Structure 1
Amino acid sequence: MDGGQSLQSTTGFGELLRIRRERIGLTQQVLADHATLSVRAIRDMESGRVQRPRQETVRLLADALRLEGRSRSAFEAAARRQTLAEEPRDEPTAPPVARGAIVGRDLEVEVLAEALAVHGDRLITVAGLGGVGKTRLVLEVAQRLHLTAGWSVRWIDWARLPGLSPERRADLSRSIGTRPTLLVLDGAETGLEATLLDELFQRCPGLCVLITARVPQALPGGQVIPLAPLPTPGPELDHDPVALAEVGAVRLLLSHLRRLRPGYRLEPEEAPAVAALCRQLDGLPGALELAAGWSTVLSPRQLVARLADGPFHLAPPPAAFGGRGDVGAALGAALDRLTLGQRDLLERLAAEPGDWSGEDAVELSGRPPQESLAAVHELLASGLIRSFPARDGVRFTVLNLCRRLFGAAGAYPVLATAS
């Protein structure tokens, strides 16, 4: 990110001013000369003694710091937030309370929080497969912004209550006003109009919108961030419990196992089964949670054996753990949304062993490069493939569950109707 500054150190205007000045190697005196301001004014703003910098002062500083584009917008937004923060107001509205810990998403939380609070993004969609943890991630980001930056959070479960009537829209914009606010539209996959967002952004200058969706809508000015499953361990770690426990998918699975089986330890003899379980379930948080729900009656090795016979028929345990549906439901829904061309390409890629590049996908599909690469992009956004950096560029793999699905006769109709 922009200089790697943490959220805590960049939300205040004075601190952001100091960071920008030092980044280009200016002293307070030199910046004051360039901005035609006094060095005392610079010193007072950086120390926080000046709480409400004038708009013209902020413009002069931005010019002197040679800020453009998003960097300039973020700088000006920080000054507005500083001013707004000093105005009398009610306590900021808190986000919903999380029902469980988040594991393995530290980097994603930091990136999203900085994109909103530091870099000035106002509209972001987090897209991915059902059960990949979109809602939990966004909830963590909302909590971070609320606690460290004092933002209000408005949360709308779009799947349950799609759309906003004109009356509710007006009430929402009035209640938000000018304060820094994060509006979360959870599950907003259809029915979200760009005009609604434009109206809210105009009326609420401190508003940012964060959307979760299995399939993102095309919204002007918005950023789409695909959320991949958690990293899974390679076979080389199967006999190293210490290294294995540092991998994201394993960390999450172990956190579930230890809650259900207090005192559980990852012993060397059970480590290969735990690693295999994470690989079979592709590091999908929802699938790992569901599998862990059976750990009171089945060991990891027994679970691996059951999944080898058919991972799509592992139902929720009788005492529902987390309320998850069966493992294949989310995958089947994602496949149902593919076009015929995307589905055909995915089947071809699933039949190929190992990983592949965008150029490989073009060659395998036999279609025009732009069309093939667009299909890869959609498969990535849908969460059916994952990407990773390599020496020769970005490479991809098809989820193991997809490979199993296409290799199992008659499995797809079962998935498509699963609840």
Structure 2
Amino acid sequence: MPLFTLGINHHTAPLSVREQVAFHAERVPEALTDLTRCKPVHEAAILSTCNRTEVYVATDVPEAATHWLAEYHGLARHEIEPYLYSYPERDAIRHAFRVASGLDSMVLGEPQILGQMKEAVRAADEAGTLGTTLHKLFQHSFAAAKAVRSTTAIGANIVSMAAAAVRLAGRIFERIADQRILLIGAGEMIDLCARHFVAQQPKQVVIANRTVERGRALADRLGGTAIRLEELGERLSHFDIVVSCTASPLPIIGLGMAERAIKLRRHRPMFMVDLAVPRDIEREVGDMDDVFLYTIDDLAHVVESGLESRQAAVVDAEAIIAERVEAFLRWLATRGTVPVIRSLRDAAERARRHEIELALRLLAKGEDPARVLDQFSHRLTNKFLHAPTQALTRAGSDRDELQSVVAQLFHLHLDPHLGE
């Protein structure tokens, strides 16, 4: 079954487009089931992160996935088609390997994408849409990523999104140690940001999360406190720095909430970072005079430091990936011969069993064992050679080609003068 990848990412589309086709984690199983109801789609996996939404499928009709993606999100196909990329088999394999290795990330070499891909595989497996082909593709992707990271410097000197957020905050405030920080969400990205900000020893750290117990668990590790998301409106004005990354389908901080907070702060500046896709903070908030709002795309300009040392490793990484792509293509090619190999072995096994049974009956009658073994070997050899011999005898215009195949299969060294 041919492989195919359809996607949209930070290279091809702005945040305003990416957020329209993002999949929230809790909706991925339902989406996978819906996608594989399209008869041409036999296997599927969805990778949806802040920077990309990609659909990996095994299908003979790749257009089905494109149509489904637009329809599922309630969009006209022409609205997203200019931003989409689609890769047939070889390119799809290479792309998966590059994504897993961090070569296609906004932050070159960042390691988080590997965990996100593994989560996508787990979701597809649980949804029952991860067949043999995609399972093998992702396992090879993880192996390629491991080889790249262990043998090249692709992961050296990385400036993460979290570190970039701290750098930007440092441009607004002279001392982060004098500021109060609010972190909205309790996922991996917020955890990473929290550790970077806490290292600056801020005046206060508060975690706001829909599930307060999860927020409290993170706050306890950081020496902070936790509040319910519902308290955000009345507490927002207390904070100088706000970092948000949730899976909310709708903005958590709207223009009205931000305006009230700034008024209560007597127009003291507020630094905000929105790492969510779709956005947690309404776009219009960034137009306010006293708010410095940065999205995940804005942070891309900061993460370029340290890039040169990693760029030198890209050549080595691409060579590793190219080699592994060829290996995976060979595996795909052999899958087409599996039914023939299985039938050949089954036929040989049936012949072997039949001759063994005959030989055992003859031995039970008291016949000479040496004679029985000799007859057994002759009959078995004749059965194995009957089909190829008959094919060669009856061959027509393709005789030369057939002879060459038989010679290759049986490792024969033909004497060109034998038939003279």
Q: TM-score range by the shorter chain?
A: under 0.3
Q: Normalising by structure 2, report the TM-score.
A: 0.24
Compare CA radii of gyration and give the structure with the larger one: 2
Greater helix percent: which structure?
A: 2
TM-score w.r.t. length of structure 1:
0.24
